Structures are given as C-alpha cells and as structure tokens.
Amino acid sequence: MAYMRPPFQGSLVVALWVLAAASPASAQPAIEGYTDYQALSKQVEQLAADGAEPALVRAKSLATTLGGREVWLLTLGEVPQDGHESAAESKPPHDTKPAILVLGNVDATHVVGSELAMRLARLLAEKAKSDDAVKQILSRHTIYVIPRPSPDASEALFRRPLVGRDGNDRATDDDRDFATDEDPFEDLNGDGLITQMRVEEPAGTLVPHPDDPRVLVPADPAQRERGTYRVLSEGRDNDGDEQFNEDPPGGVAFNRNFTFKYPYFERGAGPHQVSEIETRAVADFAFDHPNIALVFSFSPDDNLMQPWKPNPAAENQRIKTAVLAADATVLDALATKYRAIHGGKGAPDSPSPAGSFVHWAYFHFGRWSLGARAWWIPEVPTAAPAGDKPADEKPVSPADATAEAPKPSDASKPDAGAKPDDAAKPAESDKPKRAEDKRGAADRNSLRWFENEKVTGFVPWTPIEHPDFPGRKVEVGGFLPYVRDNPPANKLDELAQKHLQFLLEVAERLPRLVLEEPKIESLGAGVFRLTTAVANAGQMPTMPQMGRVSGLQYPIQLQLEVPDGAKLIPAVARVRVEVLAAGARHEQTWLVQTNTDSALTATITAWAPAVGRDRKSVELKP
C-alpha cells in the first residue's frame, strides 16, 4: 500500500539537485574491477567450455531467481572410471566421489567471496594438468563451486546510487509496518553513493573524534563532552514515521534464511526458513549430494581466523549450539593451517550466526564447515610516536566501528552509528595527556588505510538542505558501502592463490578408505573364514561428530559379495561402520561356505559417499 508523502517534499527536490550538481561527484568506489552478473555468467560459460574436454568442468544453473538470474553451479573433477557404488542408484559420475562444496558470497555484500570462488574454479581448471596437488584433488574429489548464491542481491554493487544491500528481489516489509519497500535511501548529495548524514542536534550522542574529526564517536561524560551529532543513513523519511530508510528495496538475505538459530520476524529473514528460490536450491543441492564431505564458504561468518569454541558443559544438551569438542580439534587444526597460509592478523569478529549458511552447514547439514572472510582492512599504525601503544594490543576490527557505513540492518535504528557499548572507558588520569583516544579506532584505522592505499572509501561531510530537518545543519558524508568488506580488485589474485593452497591442504587431509589385504582361512569342508579391515588413511575422521549426531552423514558400508556356489553363515553380507577416526581401522570377519570344488572369487567393498571407496577381490580355493 502507498503511504501519503509529507506535503513539503516537492519544493525542495530542486534545491537538492542544484546542490548535487555543484558538489564534485568524484568518488569512484574502491571495488572497481569486480564482476557483475553478466560478466560472471560469461566467465562461468567460458570456464565450462574450456574445461569440457575431458569433462573436467561442467556448469549448470541450480535455479533462476526472482530477478531472473541463474544460480550457477560449477562441477570440477575427473570423471571416475568406475563410478557406481550402488546398483540401486545411477548417479552422475561426479556425484560418486567425495566432494567439497565451495560457496561464494553467502553474504551478498561480501562480493569478494564470489570473486575468489570464481578464481578458485579457474585456477583448478588451469592447473589440472600442470600441478600435482591439483591433479590429485581433481582425481580423488569433486569440487562443486556455487560462486554467487544470491545473484539478485549481489547485483546491488553494480548499480548507482551505490547501496549496501544483502536482500534479494522479494519485496519485503523490513520494519513490519505492513508496507513494503516504502522508505528507500536517497542520494541527497548526488554523488552516486549512499553514505550517511550527520545531523547537528542538542540531544545528539556523538562528537567528532579529537584526533580525526571526520569520525564521530560517543560523547564521553567523564571528559565533560556533550553530544552534538546524530548519525543516520543517507536519505529521507519517506513515510513520515520518523525513521530513515528503514524499509528500502531488498528483501530476503541468503545468509539469514537458513534454519540454524533462524531469526524469526527479523529484517532479511524472510517469511520462514529456506523460503527463497536460491536458498532452497542450494539446500536441496546439498541434501541431494551425500558425497559432500566438507563445505567451504566465503563469509563474514568466519571460523578460520577465530575458530568456534566448544562448550563441553553443554555438549549433552538436546539442541547443539556450540561446536562439539571432538570436531573443534579437527577444525582448529585446519584453522591453524589457514592462518599460516593467509598471514593476516586482527580479523574482525563474526556477525550473528542467526540463519547463517556456515553454521547451517555444520549444525544442520552435519558436515565440516569452514567460513572464510578472506579479507579485511589490516591494521595501519598511527602516526603517533612508537611505543605509544602496547605491542600486544588486540587490533581493532571494523565490528567495533562507531560510525559504520549504512547497512540495512542498522538503518532502522535512529542513531545508526552510535553503539553505547563502544563508548571509550573514561581516560585514566595517570596517562599522558596525548595518549590515544581509542574511540572509533576501527573507523580511524580504515581512514588511514584508505589514505595509504589511495582508496576512496570516505566522503567528506558536506552540508545539504534536508527537507526533513528544515533550518537544521545536516551534512552528508561518511563511509562508502562495500569498501571495508571487499578489497581492491588488484588484491584478488593473490588472495585466490592463498585460498587454493588452503583448499589443497584441506583435500589432502580428508579421510580416505583403504581395505587391508584380506586373510583367508580354510576351516575345511568348504568353509572359509575371511578377515579384512577397513582403515581411514586420511588425517580427519570419516565424519564430524555432528554428522553422526545429526544422522545426516552416511556410515561406511562394508560388503562381501559371493558368487553362486557360495553362501554366508550367517547370511549377513553387509555391515555398517559408523565412523573411523583418522588412522583407525575396523576389522570384519565373514564365514563363507562353498559347495563347489573349483575356486570362487568374492569381492569386498568398503564405501561411504563422502569418504570414498576401496575394493578387493579374494579367491576361495578349496
């Protein structure tokens, strides 16, 4: 439904445009060089065409979104010679090998994930012949890559004005006022960017930081400061509800639509879990592929820089919400390797896991799940004299930012920038007077990094006439969307190489089934005792404990097939082995009776879709 617009709007539009024309629209976002949907589709098709022979790469669309875009899936790997593990099912050969599922930007604003996923696929295809490790991963495993799971939302990066957006094309009622998309952002200064606005007001809670007045921080009463500013996202209160830009276009967020800790009734969550075309397509793809052993996602919901912490006291609770201790050990080892390869420090904290894909993949899909933020603004030392700052201090992260670039999630809060819990502790009196005022540290660090890297990430505060604040001082400026979550394009290749190295490392450690040479004992009268063992030759258990708890991962099947003329005593041909730890083995004995004088060949097979398979034949000679 349409709401009445406040009557004073029309007359000021002209004034705004005049102002916009006067201010130089110089800001070229730092994300130049990223791939929009059309270009991505071409890359996917090209990669599939180049890799078609010998069937190394395949591309297909998992679904067409509401916005008419394809959710691309790339399948990489050599076609196995003998692909069928079960007579009852005939699967595409790639689906019979243990697989790694790679997700690009599960958070649509984190487009770097899409760029890196695409590069990973390309690197694998390019090095398929030349690099031994790549050759091995592609012969043992299938790599599924979904580079851009939420293409409608991701496309916001390529539109002007530039708005940070994680929701897809479904029209939603973000603020639950029973109107949809009724209060969008407006580019008030006409620079093609949706940034922020600061409003001078006596009841404001923010002040300019003493060292860098561009950054607004909470006023500190202990320093006798009084707030003078309120920060809002750039735009108007279109529906007259005294909130700004609280319901812009952009609907359901992929990374808030999954079942783990689903954020009911919250912005971006959707009408219910897995309600969207793209979330359903990805979830169904995953469930349809029991051969997926591990899920690697690019996501701000990281567990490689800051691994998940188990909670042994809560381990026996019915609903699991903390990584199980047994799995944490395995994940920690992978995370340690990741950090060594990546080399970055001071990664930001992860956002809420509510509805998150990375959490879903572990807790509700029962697989090893790795989430990589991949990039963040590194710490840039201040110009202040060395020694001013303790060396071991934990670097600040953007999550601490006091005045963030507008994110839809913050838009409904009137003072989007102000987080009282970040208010600096009162200055200790025994410190030197020029000791760094730590408020807004992440924001100020971002600004230093922009300067060093010549990145346009911040728009200087510039006064405008704002129709909702007649006669008041309002300035538009602040951080651009995207620039603090996505690196400049020239850093992508190096990041992709690092993540390829890590992926190869992960694949090397995955569990592997090996059948030991069977032992045959003749007990006389055509009766044989046949003993073998299946072992896990990898460096990880055959499934995470969560896979077992969830009941979603397939156990190992160990089966003896005997030809006519032989029968089993008792007649149990197939046994299941739930899990094998790294290096562990399970011994199995069968008793076989033959009723012929000639030698018979029996076959032993050990297999689990996500672990692999081994097969041995034995001769039963009377």
Partner 1 sequence: MHKVPRIASVLLVVSSVEMFAMRFDAMAADPQASSAAVYQPAGAPADPKVPAQWNRYHLHGEISEFLQKLAAAHPERCRLQDLGKSFGGREMWLLTIGNFSRGELADKPAFWIDGGIHANEIQSVEVVLYTAWYLLESYGRNPLVTRLVDERAFFLLPMLSPDSRDAHMQKANTTHSPRSGQRPVDDDRDGLVDEDGPDDLDGDGSITQMRVHDPNGRLVPHAKYPNLMIDAPADEPGQYASLGQEGFDNDGDGRVNEDADGYYDPNRDWPWNWQPAYVQPGASRYPLSILENRLVGDFVMAHPQIAGAQSYHNAGGMILRGPGAKDDRYDPRDIEVLDVIGKRGAEMLPGYRYINIANDLYEVYGGEVDWFYDMQGVFTFTNELFTGFNFFRKASEGYFGSNEDLHAFDRYLLFGGGIIPWREIDHPQFGKVEVGGFAKNWVRQPPSFLLEEECHRNMAFTLYHADQMPQVEVQSIDVTPLPGGLTQVTAVIANRKVIPTHAAADVRHRITPPDRISIEGPAIEVVLGLKSTDRFFREPEEQKRRPQTLEFSSIGGMQAVYGRWVVRGSGPYTVTVVSPKGGRATRTSDAPQ
- Would you say 424 or 591 has its CB closer to partner 1? 591
Which one-letter amino acid corresponds to residue 468? Answer: D
Q: Counting contacts by CB under 8 A, is residue 85 touching partner 1?
A: yes
Q: Counting contacts by CB under 8 A, is residue 245 touching partner 1?
A: no
Smallest separation, CB 272 to partner 1 (Å): 4
Q: Counting contacts by CB under 8 A, is residue 555 touching partner 1?
A: yes
- Of 2, 4, 313, 386, the one binding partner 1 by CB under 8 A: 4
- As given in the structure block, the two tokens for residue 301 are 């919901």
Q: Which stretch binds partner 1 (CB under 8 A): 108-116, 130-138, 275-283, 505-513?
A: 275-283
- As given in the structure block, the two tokens for residue 41 are 């589709």
- As given in the structure block, the two tokens for residue 138 are 């592609």
Distance CA 287, CA 160 (A): 38
Task: Using alpha carbons, select from 257, 59, 48 the residue that is nearest to residue 152.
Answer: 257
Q: Counting contacts by CB under 8 A, is residue 494 touching partner 1?
A: no
Q: Counting contacts by CB under 8 A, is residue 2 touching partner 1?
A: no
Q: Are 141 and 510 in contact (CB under 8 A)?
A: yes
What lies within 8 Å, CB to CB, of 81 at 6+ separation is none
- Would you say 177 or 437 has its CB closer to partner 1? 177
Q: Counting contacts by CB under 8 A, is residue 364 touching partner 1?
A: yes
- Of 150, 154, 303, 557, the one binding partner 1 by CB under 8 A: 557
- Would you say 244 or 258 has its CB closer to partner 1? 258
Task: Using alpha carbons, select from 405, 377, 373, 299 the residue that is nearest to residue 27.
Answer: 405
Applying CB under 8 A, the site for partner 1 has a residue count of: 44
- Would you say 89 or 132 has its CB closer to partner 1? 89
Q: Counting contacts by CB under 8 A, is residue 575 touching partner 1?
A: yes
Whose structure tokens read 């950090």?
339
**Site residues for partner 1, window 163-182 (CB under 8 A)?**
176-178
- Would you say 60 or 576 has its CB closer to partner 1? 576
Taking each helix axis from N to C end, the angle separating 325-342 and 492-509, rounded to the nearest 10 degrees, works out to: 140
- Would you say 89 or 421 has its CB closer to partner 1? 89
Interaction mask 280-309, partner 1, x per CB under 8 A:
x--xx--x--x-------------------
- Of 83, 93, 192, 240, the one binding partner 1 by CB under 8 A: 240
Q: Counting contacts by CB under 8 A, is residue 7 touching partner 1?
A: no
Q: Counting contacts by CB under 8 A, is residue 574 touching partner 1?
A: yes
- Would you say 129 or 574 has its CB closer to partner 1? 574
Q: Counting contacts by CB under 8 A, is residue 572 touching partner 1?
A: yes
- Helix, strand, or coil (residue 86): coil
- Would you say 364 or 484 has its CB closer to partner 1? 364
- As given in the structure block, the two tokens for residue 438 are 């730590």
Whose structure tokens read 């029996």?
602
> Measured between alpha carbons, how far is residue 63 from residues 66, 109, 415, 451, 461 in Å?
10, 21, 39, 42, 43
The string over 416-449, giving b where at least 16 C-beta atoms fall within 10 Å of a residue's C-beta and e elsewhere, is: bbbbeebbbeeeeeeeeeeeebbbbbbbbbbbbb
- Of 71, 194, 274, 347, the one binding partner 1 by CB under 8 A: 274
Smallest separation, CB 297 to partner 1 (Å): 17
Distance CA 527, CA 415 (A): 82
What lies within 8 Å, CB to CB, of 241 at 6+ separation is 175, 177, 183
- Of 213, 271, 414, 583, the one binding partner 1 by CB under 8 A: 271
Contacts 24+ apart (CB under 8 A), 13-18: 15/465, 16/188, 16/190, 16/464, 16/465, 16/467, 17/190
Residue 131, CA atoms < 13 Å, CB-side half-sphere:
14
Q: Counting contacts by CB under 8 A, is residue 390 touching partner 1?
A: no
Whose structure tokens read 């919400």?
321
Smallest separation, CB 88 to partner 1 (Å): 5
Question: Which residues share a beta bridge with 591?
Answer: 529
Q: Counting contacts by CB under 8 A, is residue 8 touching partner 1?
A: no
What lies within 8 Å, CB to CB, of 15 at 6+ separation is 465
Q: Counting contacts by CB under 8 A, is residue 605 touching partner 1?
A: no
Smallest separation, CB 131 to partner 1 (Å): 33
Residue 312 phi/psi, 5° resolution? Answer: -55, -30
- Of 65, 273, 402, 412, the one binding partner 1 by CB under 8 A: 273
Question: Contact positions toward partner 1, by CB under 8 A?
Answer: 4, 85-86, 88-89, 176-178, 240-241, 258-259, 262, 264-265, 271-275, 280, 283-284, 287, 290, 318-319, 364, 549-555, 557, 570-576, 609
